[in-house]
Structure 1
């Protein structure tokens, strides 16, 4: 067995949505390094193919499927790619997401729905299509959420709502499907370095660049990917990334009024800051 295949996930197949770039791409690379065969997914053909070629050139087993995971038929096609190519599916990481920077009162209903759909149905539809295969494998499902799901953030209403929904979805599925042996977990990601060309939606649905962030608040994409990998390997229920994320969780749980006051008084600085 080659060094490329001799890893902790050797023989397993992982599907990572939204893996053509950013955290998803680095998570795919981390899983590949541990021996998994990985199915990539995205919406930009050139970028998706470039990621596939880069990982394949490193000697990893990868396939790719261009699919909008908010469309159920496309999600079914994505899962079929994993089964047709590798014969099984052991791990699903739902990372695909659209973020936003806009106040609720300024947003059009269509933009709110688009952001919410990407974060909720973008996880529900791939999981629904993949569930029979994951049950067969007693596999693992990890929803990528955000620390902004732990405490609401100004200018992120639809994003925060969608990410919070994933945490409750994971809890519910854990209860409903306890006898299947499938792991359901959620990772709350904190402030992370972005690709230079990353865009988020404004109130009118136009893509806009993210404001520069102080490096001291951020983890690299590779660091976050390593945490996601460890979460999946340990089949954890919840992982909250960064000391700041842990602090938000404690304050939100024990001192919610204080947490709200801090967010309100800091919103000018924070509104372009969370992930």
Structure 2
């Protein structure tokens, strides 16, 4: 997810200085592979990029905050990792073409795409401005579709891997997250469709449903009026670290899995939603009455 206030697409897609040297771990499981991780200037995306580098990949970083993106690039480069970066708004297709071109110009190929960038919300549907709903949906749906569309010819050539980062909230609706839940559910269905359409290409299409994760202190989501606000409180004992989530994402990519659901809570949601949907709804409705702050 993006960790700052959304900016217009017209200010995006400015290539940053590249460092296209040899990976620090040329014998790792991703040695010789080139990856793009969207939304990797911070948070889960940053840690996923870091771990890909540590396991031998060359990585193109992406984000919309040029200063934060450069800080991440410089930190990974200082650790002798092979990295490039591109400021790009993934809801703008031309920007996504520039992002993919950065990978090709810096490293000559593209093997892995992780579509991590997205905007979340903290607002009830009845209160949301229509343009805010659209902004959240665009970031999750077109922020997945556009990078993939731009990267597809190179991924076909490499018989590469595509991982859409979804959420456990896509498995069963979550109050105060209507647009986010809808967007994350859409990309999961998209992965299934593309797996069927493009089976002949050898590309891996997978989805990772992320659960509650520790966030950077500056992490913000959108309120009903589009203003950035802190995320809803989550008990620390329910949260995985960003590094733990990144390790699960890489395991998913290595094994070319179709779906990975992170956390016991996520697997419980799958079980209840599949076999006891009314029970699942009762639990959510009960928590709204008794723990409304959990969603707000």
User: What interval of TM-score do these two structures reach, taking the shorter chain for normalisation?
Assistant: over 0.9
Instruction: List alignment gaps of at least 5 residues for structure 2.
Output: 1-21
> Normalised by the size of structure 1, how large is the TM-score?
0.97
Which residue in the other structure is 1:78 paired with? 99
The list of structure 1 runs, each at least 4 consecutive aligned residues, that deviate by more than 6 angstroms after superposition, is none
Cα shift at 1:4: 2.7
Q: Contact between 2:23 and 2:53, CA under 8 Å: does it hold in 1?
A: no
The answer as to 2:279 corresponding to 1:255 is no
Cα shift at 1:270: 3.4
Cα shift at 1:271: 1.1
Question: 1: distance between equivalents of 2:128 and 2:23?
Answer: 52
Question: 2: distance between equivalents of 1:101 and 1:151?
Answer: 16
Which residue in the other structure is 1:199 paired with? 220
2:83 pairs, out of 19, 42, 62, with 62
Question: 1: distance between equivalents of 2:24 and 2:98?
Answer: 31
What SS does the corresponding residue of 1:266 show, helix, strand or coil?
helix
Which residue in the other structure is 1:27 paired with? 48
How many corresponding residue pairs? 272
- Describe the superposition over 1:221-265 as per-residue Cα deviations: whole angstroms up to 9, x where unpaired: 000000000000000000000011000001001011110110111
RMSD: 1.1
Which residue in the other structure is 1:231 paired with? 252
Which residue in the other structure is 1:156 paired with? 177
Instruction: List alignment gaps of at least 5 residues for structure 1.
Output: none
Cα shift at 1:209: 1.1
Which residue in the other structure is 1:145 paired with? 166
> Normalised by the size of structure 2, how large is the TM-score?
0.90
Q: Contact between 1:4 and 1:59, CA under 8 Å: does it hold in 2?
A: no
Cα shift at 1:6: 2.1
Which residue in the other structure is 2:194 paired with? 173
